[in-house]
Amino acid sequence: QVQLVESGGGLVQAGGSLRLSCAASGRTFSSYRMGWFRQAPGKEREFIGGISPGGTTIRYEDSVKGRFTISRDNAKNTVFLQMNSLKPEDTAVYYCAGKLSPGGTYIYTTASDYNYWGQGTQVTVSS
């Protein structure tokens, strides 16, 4: 079992950058596939990207491709979401999610595929 805690959210102007972190407890973080999701008011939670356990495979949704970068440091039990060129439509609560699934490079894109969730961190982009 793993506990996830996000940090790094805040208020930023359009065009700015933020870096979110998701720190995991436990000793098997390197066996978890990790995903980033976001949920804007009145909208469903949407997948924005994910990373394989070893960090060799990363997938992004088209809406963030080229602007957002996902990485992980398994030695520090942390996954990161670097967000650049932020737009007002990026405003949402951002969540990291984990699924215990060692080996392979498949990236799950559906929220129900993930077993563990952080509490979320608010990102607000002003125009």
CA–CA gap between residue 120 and residue 3 (Å, rounded): 12
User: What are the tokens at 124?
Assistant: 């607000």
Across the chain, what does the average pLDDT equal? 95
Confidence of residue 27 (pLDDT cuts 50, 70, 90): confident
Position 101 scores a pLDDT of: 85
The 10s digit of each residue's pLDDT in 3-18 is 999 999 999 999 999 9
Is-contact 107 97, C-beta < 8 A?
A: no
Pair 108, 114: CB distance under 8 Å = yes
Distance CA 105, CA 27 (A): 20
Q: What is the pLDDT of residue 85?
A: 98
- The H or E element spanning position 102 is none
- Residue 71 in contact with residue 63, Cβ under 8 Å? no
Distance separating alpha carbons of residues 125 and 67, to the nearest angstrom: 14
